[in-house]
Amino acid sequence: MLVPLPNRKQEFMPTENPPINWYALRVTYCREMIVKRRLDACGIESFVPMRYKETVCGQRRRRTLVAAVHNLLFVHTTAEQLRTIASDPRLPVRTITDRTTGSTLIVPDKQMRDFIAVAGNPDEQHIYLDPDSIYTKQLRQRGELLTTNKDQSAFVFLRLEDLMETDFLRIRENFTLGDIVQLISTARRNIFPVIDNFGRLIGLVQLDDLREDMFKREKYGTPICEYMIPAPDTILEHESIRSVLPKFEDSHTWMLPVVDKEGHYLGFISKSRILNSYREQLVKISQ
C-alpha cells in the first residue's frame, strides 16, 4: 500500500478557474484504488466502478469490494491538473487519447454522471460487456489480431520457454507481512507471485504496496493476502508469442505470469523482452 502524497493539494491547485472535465486514465497492474486514494487525499474527484467479489484467505471466505473494470480510472479535473497527475512518477497512470482527434479523451459530463448513477452502487448486479465481437475475440485469442505492418515471420522463431524469467521469489498464501520483510533483502524483483500449497498461482504482491507497512512491526502479523492483487492476465506454457502479445495490450501491463494448464506458477514473461527478441529476429531475417 502506498501512503498519500504529502502536501500535494497546493501542487495540484490551478492558478485560475479553467474548465473541469472528466478524463479516463489507464492504470498499471490493477492499482486503480491506490491511485484513487491518493487523488482523494489531494481533494481531486475520481471514480472507479466497484463490485463485490468473494475471496478465500486461508480457511476464511469473505466478501471484498473490488474494481469492476481493472486498470481504468476516471478523474474530474482541469487540463493543467491532469498534466501534473500524469507526469507524477508516484502515480502509475497515463492518459487515453481519442483516436479520431489525437487529443486527450474527455468524457462528456452528462454521460459520466449517468454512468456513475448506474455503476456507482456495488450492491447492484451489472454486466460489463466485452468490446470485442465474437469474431475479433476469436482472432485475439489465437494471437492473430495484430497490425498488418509487422513481419509475422519473425514470430516463428520466438519460443515462450526461451523468453520466460524464473528468478522471482515465490510466497505462499499463509505468509504474513513479517515473512515477506525477511525475504525482501534477497529479492532481485519488486513483484512476488503468491502460490497455494500445490504451487498454483493465486495472485501477486508488489513491493510498492508493502512500503507503507513494512517498517511497522505491529503490522508484521498481517496476512499477505491483504496486500495481494489478482494477476491482470496469465500466459499458458507453450502458448504462441502471437497470442501472448494481445494479452499485454488488453491488460495494459509489461509483465505477466506464466502457468501450466492446471494453473501452477512457472515464471514471468515481459513485453520488453519479447519486443527485443522480435527486433533481433527481424535483423537476422533481413540479412
Residue range 89-99, pLDDT digits in tens: 888 898 988 77
Residue % of the chain over a pLDDT of 70: 79
pLDDT at residue 165 is higher than 60: yes
Q: Are residues 195 and 231 in the same domain?
A: yes
Assess whether 24 and 64 both reside in one domain.
yes
Instruction: Give the range of the structural domain holding residue 252, as residue numbers without chain letter.
Output: 134-286
Res. 148 pLDDT band, cuts 50 70 90? very low
* Average pLDDT score over the chain: 80
Count up the domains in the chain and report the number.
2
203 and 261 both lie in a single domain: yes
pLDDT at residue 258 tops 90: yes
201 and 94, same structural domain?
no
Q: Identify the bridge partners of residue 52 per DSSP, sorted by sequence position.
A: 65
Report how far residue 44's alpha carbon sits from residue 20's, in angstroms, rounded to the nearest whole number. 11
pLDDT at 140 over 60: no
- Asked if 141 and 21 sit in the same domain, the reply is no
**Mean pLDDT value across residues 277-283:** 76
pLDDT > 80? residue 138? no
Name the pTM for this structure.
0.51
Parallel, antiparallel or unpaired: strands 191-195 and 171-172: parallel
- At residue 248, does pLDDT exceed 60? yes
